[in-house]
Structure 1
Amino acid sequence: MFYEMTVQIRVPDMKEGQKWYETLLNRKPDFIPHEGFAEWELIPGCWLQVAEGTPSNGSGPIRLGVVDIEETRERVVRELKVEQFELCSREDVPVRWGTFSDPWGNRLGLFEYVSEDDKNERTESVLKK
């Protein structure tokens, strides 16, 4: 049985990387166990680790679910100076999504459920856990 997960992103400069991810996530890390490493618990049991090191080429994207993709995209573009961040959708897919990169080439993204019922059901089930 799996009960938690972590995803690690590497950045060459931890000070810059931590600041960038604090801006993206709108908060300070939840845990900094040692120099060169910071963690955010995004939802219960799901941790994003930012570690100092060489970024992995071609990995990702790690997509984060949001309630309002337009609003979050605007904030990311404005506050983090992300230039390429197109939103996509397909008739047969229940979410809208977009992909962008951090300054070190790590691929990230956002997604939002198209149906308000799906969005409410999913957020309620995640927040109950």
Structure 2
Amino acid sequence: MIYEMTIQIRVTDISEGQKWYETLLQRKPDFIPHEGFAEWELIPGCWLQVAEGIPAKDSGPLRLGVLDIVSERERIKGELKVPHFDIFSREEVPVKWATFTDPWGNRLGLFEYINEIEKNEQIQNISGELD
């Protein structure tokens, strides 16, 4: 049985990396177990680890579910100086999605459920709350 997960992203400068990911995630890390390492629990049991090291080539993207993909894209472009990135959709896919990179070349992305009912059901399943 799998009950929890972590994903690790490496950055060449942990101080700059931690600041960048604090801005992306809009909060401080939940756990800093030792120098060169910071962790955020994104949703219960799902951890993002940012570690100092050599970034992996061609990995990802790690996509994060958001309530409003257009607003988040604009925030990321403005606050993190990420170049413009497109939002995509396909009729047979229930989400809109976008991909961008951090300053270390790690591929990241966003997605938003198109159907508001489905979005709220997912939020309730994870958090026990409706938006």
**TM-score, reference length from structure 2:** 0.96
Q: Determine the C-alpha separation between the residues in 2 that align with 1:120 and 1:22.
A: 25
Structure 1 residue matching 2:60: 3-state secondary structure: coil
Structure 2 residue matching 1:33: 3-state secondary structure: coil
Once the two structures are TM-superposed, the CA of residue 128 in structure 1 deviates from its matched residue by 2.7
Structural mapping, 1:49-128, within 5 Å: 49-128=49-128
Please give the per-residue CA displacement for 1:72-129, whole angstroms capped at 9, x wherever unaligned: 1110000000104110000110000000000000000000000001101111111139
Please give the per-residue CA displacement for 1:25-79, whole angstroms capped at 9, x wherever unaligned: 0000000000000000000000000000000000000000001111111100000
Q: Determine the C-alpha separation between the residues in 2 that align with 1:115 and 1:66.
A: 13
> Percent of counterpart pairs with the same letter?
70
Q: Determine the C-alpha separation between the residues in 1 that align with 2:86 and 2:7.
A: 24
User: Are residues 1:38 and 2:38 paired?
Assistant: yes
1:13 aligns with: 13
Structure 2: runs of 5 or more not aligned: none
How large is the Cα RMSD of the aligned pairs? 1.0
**TM-score, reference length from structure 1:** 0.98
2:27 aligns with: 27
Structure 1: runs of 5 or more not aligned: none
Q: Determine the C-alpha separation between the residues in 2 that align with 1:68 and 1:87.
A: 11
Structure 2 residue matching 1:119: 3-state secondary structure: helix
Structure 2 residue matching 1:42: 3-state secondary structure: strand
Q: Determine the C-alpha separation between the residues in 2 that align with 1:82 and 1:106.
A: 12
Amino acid across the alignment from 1:47:
W
